[in-house]
Chain A
Amino acid sequence: MDTLALAGYAVPIAVAIALLFVVAIAAGTLGSLLGLGGGLVLVPALVLLFNIEIHLAVAASLVSVIATSTGAASVQVESGFTNPRLGMFLETATAVGGLAGAILAVTILATHGQIVIAAFVPVVLGAAFYMYAQRGRDVDPDPPHDRLADRLQLGGRYPDPDGGGTRSYRITGTALGLTISGLAGVASGLLGIGGGLFKVPAMNSIMNTPMRVAGATSTFMIGVTAAAGALVYLFAGDVGLLITAPTAVGTILGSQIGSELRPRATTPFLKDVFVVVLLVAAASMLGEVLGVFP
């Protein structure tokens, strides 16, 4: 049987694929619950397990991000946690950001990659501190009126897991929300990191979206952000089928688990986990800048 070198040991390919499948389930669960793609977990796992080049890992991860998004959204749109109007409104900014990121990736990333990544570190840390400072708070029952949000009817209602019935919320801060979503698109087009890291804090803290809705809506959007990039990789032949197939199926399973957990996850719990993920992301970006990772 074929073997792979895994952390210095020869491991049968079947075992490595089984391990990858388990990691993918975890990534899909975490990603769909928090509104992230899961690339943060998958890319290092793929590189370590299969010793493949980073761009092949990113390609497999992009396909799996779409799997997570589609898997979770197929459940959460109907369960009422996703706000499709808000999601599609913000998709305009993430799509433009993604296009800008794709252009920048060809131009500056090749020469100034370290600086670009370093520039995002304070943003990620800022989001972590901001979210931690507001961990006890979810939404303002009567936020300032935002003309665009009111006109486009971006607010919504979602099932109340505690009391039964539904709770409604009003959206505000569309200008800043669009700007940050655009930046999130740039980050994902440029670095391949999920824009959810920026979108979820912005939707919750700035746009007054309940944390559970922000996570579900971000998951809904992420598939669209990743689609163009994934298609490019797929046709360029950079999507390794043997690693991507189990990763995609695993993340789909995980996304179903995450969707099941959503009504039960409290806002402070979601925020705590999100803060940890943001800190891990900042650390891994710093590590990349400082050249700790190969």
Chain B
Amino acid sequence: MTELEPLPAGEDPAFEAVMAKVLRGGLYTSIVLIIVGLAISAVGGLPSIDFGGVPSVHAGSPLGSWGALVVFLGLLLLVLTPVFRVGCATFLFARAKDRAFTAITLFVLVVLVATFVVGALR
């Protein structure tokens, strides 16, 4: 009788559970922020404030600024979630001593940062 080969990191249920948790955590928190932000804007009860450094909060947005800031934070968290996911994978692969995949995920993180820098310099 042959033994079943152990599953490599990334295919095993424990790894998948952590990935799913990171993704769901980011997703649910951002949905809550987006909806709360929209609700604050709809009620319009908070005084407006000036967010000099965050242009998106103003740009083309008829939302009240407090609500807009909360929506903006929700969208920011949403956009960062896949990046967190890659970072968590790096950590998990390193812990599993899977050197090839630790390097692969680190490489992806570095290229993502470089792409953001190139885009931001435009």
Contacts and interface: CB of A to CB of B under 8 A. Distances in A.
B89 A99 contact: no
Contacts of A91: 86, 104, 108
Given A70-B27, A74-B24, A152-B100, A63 B115 contact: no
Given A241-B61, A245-B38, A224 B115 contact: no
Interface in B68-90: 68, 71-72, 74-76, 78-83, 85-86, 89
B10 A102 contact: no
B82 A240 contact: no
Contact of B118 (A67, A103, A224, A249): A103
Contacts of B30: 248
A63 B63 contact: no
Contacts of B38: 245
Interface size class of A (residues with CB under 8 A): 35 or more
B94 interface: no
Interface residues of B, number: 59
B82 A223 contact: yes
A99 B27 contact: no
B50 to A, nearest CB: 15
Contact of A70 (B8, B76, B81, B120): B81
A244 B76 CA distance: 12
Return the 3 tightest CB-CB contacts between A and B, nearest first: A237-B55, A223-B82, A232-B119
Interface of B: 8, 10-11, 13, 15-17, 19-20, 23-24, 26-27, 30-31, 34-35, 37-38, 55-63, 68, 71-72, 74-76, 78-83, 85-86, 89, 100-101, 104-105, 107-108, 111-116, 118-120, 122
